[in-house]
Structure 1
Amino acid sequence: MSSQLDQHRSEFPYLKGKAYFNYGGQGTMPRPAIAALHQAHDRFQELGPFSSAANAWIVQEGNLTREAIAKELGTTADTITLTEDVSVGCNIALWGIDWKAGDHILISDCEHQGIVAAVRELQRRFDLEVTLCPLLETLNSGDPCAIVEQFLQPNTKLFVVSHILWNTGQVLPLKQMVEICHARSVQVLVDAAQSVGVLPLNLTELQADFYAFTGHKWWCGAAGVGGLYVRPEARERLSPTFIGWRSVITDATGNPVRFQSDGRKYEIATSAIPLYSALREAIEFHAPFAQERYPMICDRSAYLWQQLNQLSDVKCLKQIAPEAGLISFQLVDGKHSQLVQFLEEKSIFLRVILNPNCIRACVHYFTTENEIDLLMSTIQKFIG
């Protein structure tokens, strides 16, 4: 590891004494982001939380954060809505569409349970048709784009899919999927929980209608702030469901007269504003490795994947080297929860995934070979 990366990693104070492989759940925060969070809390109190100065600061923090996110994702600030997390972003899109009885939602069979539950509730309330698109079977062979095209129906209104599947780590050919859907006048909602902070992204070119993400996973920001990209053409048709003072423009008497014309249209009211500066600092912290980040993640993933494949009692779900930072594997004896607990007792952190039943390890660009080697030797001890 280079001295620059050594120094970079040392700025994660809470990685000391542990081997961390749960960035797909929540990243650990770097020191500058933690400091920014504390300073912003102090600043807010100094201004007087409910003062004109504090209000101006809140507006500025929102603007700066949308701009920082937009720059990172290859879009413009007007397309960004600040949210709390991925689920909120997905729900904004799901509930803002003008549904009619008989409309069809196509959703992949690898989506997070929170999004699946929201789609089922939409189905119940609006008498919608919902079909699972079998993408899990394409992990090692097959054409996911062909399957999407096969499962679209004349009444399909929305396709719901992740850019990187949270359970298997498969990176989907999203741009091609979007093109297929748009050719059939179908909008696309993307769960970007595992892609933002990993893949090099240009959302303007990608053209997905809705792209929901969070700052607390691979960006290593504070929990409680994320965002939703809404393509300008899609914003014209997406109504706000949750409405508050941030989403509206008022006249001289305080009467709301219209919605905001940009991403603020879907924002609501009071938020934990100090989280915004912490997220900006976290994003900026990764900037020195912006070009190398994704190749480094893939390199470290391949190293872990190769080590796992040398164990006869372990089976990696993916038969070729990972395309991102998620590596899912199974034990022959199925003792997944026991292994994860055994590892955590030794300050090595992974998680169990229920569908498919497996263990998921996440590696970042600053994950070290020593960490991976420690993980592997501890797994070998557990297996015996």
Structure 2
Amino acid sequence: MVLSASSDLTARLPTLRAEFPALANKHYFNFGGQGPMPQRALTAITDAHLTLQTEGPFSGRINQWIQQSAMAMRQTLADLLTVPVEAMTLTEDVTVGCNIPLWGVGWQPGDRILLTDCEHPGVIAAVQEVSRRFQVAVDVCPILATAQGGDPVAVIEAALQPRTRMLVVSHILWNTGQLLPLTEIVRLCHAHTPNPVWILVDAAQSVGMMPLDLTATEVDFYAFTGHKWCCGPAGLGGLYVRPEVREAIAPTFIGWRSITTDAQANPTGWQPTGQRYEVATSDYPLMAGLQAALDLHQQWGTTSDRWQRIGALSRTLWERLQAHPKIRPVMATTPESGLISFEILWADGQPHPAAHTQLVKDLEAEHTLLRILLHPHCVRACVHYFTLETEVEALGDRICQWVDAL
């Protein structure tokens, strides 16, 4: 197999992989759940904690250090998403990022939210509670079926209603690995009549995997985490809010980071930037860990280099599984992302959920980590740019061997 990345980049993979303690004793294919942290990120977090405790933990000098660290983190994330830094909000995770715009809208009874049938349960639960409290109707469009063929933009268009105010959609679907055409979806929703529809994107599976230019897409809200494809620590993520819609989304969670103050420490208004959606004290050393992880990725190659390699590895695994008569990839065509989901089939061609569960259990005993998904019930494997070709080929062979032994 020939990968699009240069031989020089490929030659540097062993050195890069040595940075990850988790890769020393297992074959890891769960990046979509949580990425392993490199040693330099662990060290950066420890060093930041030591700085915090040595110089503070509460002092003028430390407060300045915290402010500088937070601004540097926002700038790094803004560069990653190709957006202005003032549009960035630091959050804990994807779900918090999604909750901010969901609760910040001035909902009226009879308004509607459109979900796809491939959204994460945490986001679905938040939408359901908004619906209950504000008498907002929830519509669901069948995006899952387009994994086997079809136009997701047309599916969304057919589900829009005159009073739809927001579409909640994932950029890369966490259960199928399908990459949705975000720019086309945004264009459709913003042109909707009688009123434009806001787009809230669950970006759990896209940030850290693929090149992004959110300014060009004109997406309204983009919520993500640093602990999956970025390989940063759990507990730190971000939210992009398009500057043109910031004033329409009121802060719901409020604290000293959200507001400006006068000399008497009285609140005088919201921060004029995305910081208005931040709340209060956070685990600031996590920022050092995420910065270190992102720096490591960039040292290997560009975001485009990494994205191309992920695609090549994904195709290799998909093709191996697709060729087996008792294995059916959830995506009918080669996935564009690093998530490859598949079903094991009975003789009658129906999925075999018990086999999914046993396969994952057996492979974990062999130090190869995959995961079960429930909708659809399937097995998911994830490849990152630093996954080895030999690992991907061995995984495909082992899955096929296991299925043959059923």
TM-score interval w.r.t. the shorter chain? over 0.9
Match of 2:344 in 1: 331
Aligned 1:296-335 pairs, distance under 5 A: 296-333=309-346, 334=352, 335=355
SS at 1:315's partner residue? Answer: strand
Which of residues 380, 391, 403 in structure 2 aligns to 1:360? Answer: 380
Mapped to 2, the partners of 1:243 and 1:22 lie a distance apart of 34
Q: Secondary structure at the match of 1:246?
A: coil
Map of 1:175 onto structure 2: 183
Distance (Å, rounded) in 1 between the aligned partners of 2:256 and 2:287: 19
1:139 aligned partner: 147
Residue 251 in 1 paired to residue 271 in 2?
A: no
| Counterpart Cα distance in 1 of 2:325 and 2:18 | 35
CA contact (8 A) 1:187 1:209 kept: yes
Superposition pairs of residues 182-193 of structure 1, within 5 angstroms:
182-184=190-192, 185-193=196-204
**2:11 aligned partner:** 3
Query: Aligned residue for 2:168?
Result: 160
Residue 289, structure 1, aligned to residue 309, structure 2: no
In 2, Cα distance between equivalents of 1:186 and 1:298: 32
Give the alignment's TM-score, normalised by structure 2: 0.93
- Give the aligned partner of residue 88 of structure 2: 80
1 CA distance for matches of 2:27 and 2:312? 18
Q: What's the offset of the Cα at 1:376?
A: 2.8
Q: Quick check: 1:271 aligned with 2:282?
A: yes
Distance 1:381 1:324 in 2: 25
Identity score, percent: 51
Contact 1:216 1:223 in 2 (8 A): yes
Give CA deviations for 1:333-361 in whole Å, capped at 9, x if unaligned: 41111111111111111111100110110
Aligned equivalent of 1:52, options 56, 60, 71: 60
Task: Report the RMSD for the aligned CA atoms in angstroms.
Answer: 1.1
Contact kept? 2:342, 2:379, Cα under 8 Å: yes
Cα distance between partner residues in 2 of 1:300 and 1:50:
47
Which runs of 5 or more residues in structure 1 are unaligned? Answer: none
Report the alpha carbon displacement of residue 381 of structure 1 after superposing the two structures with TM.
Answer: 4.3
The 1-side partners of 2:83 and 2:72 are apart by: 14
After superposition, residues 363-382 of structure 1 pair within 5 angstroms as: 363-382=383-402
CA distance in 2, matches of 1:196, 1:202: 11
- Give the aligned partner of residue 106 of structure 2: 98
Q: Does residue 234 of the first structure (1) align with residue 245 of the second (2)?
A: yes
Please give the alpha-carbon distance, in whole angstroms, between the structure 2 residues aligned to 1:218 and 1:339.
24
The 3-state SS of whatever aligns with 2:257 is helix
> How big is the shift at 1:320?
1.5
Partner SS for 2:268: strand
Q: Is structure 2 residue 383 aligned with structure 1 residue 348? A: no
Match of 1:197 in 2: 208
Distance 1:24 1:64 in 2: 26
Contact 2:149–2:332 under 8 Å retained in 1: no
What SS does the aligned partner of 1:258 have? strand
Cα distance, 1:380 vs. partner? 3.7
- Residue pair 2:316, 2:393 contacting (<8 A) in 1 also: no
Q: Structure 1: which 4+ aligned runs deviate by more than 6 Å?
A: none
Q: AA paired with 2:128?
A: R
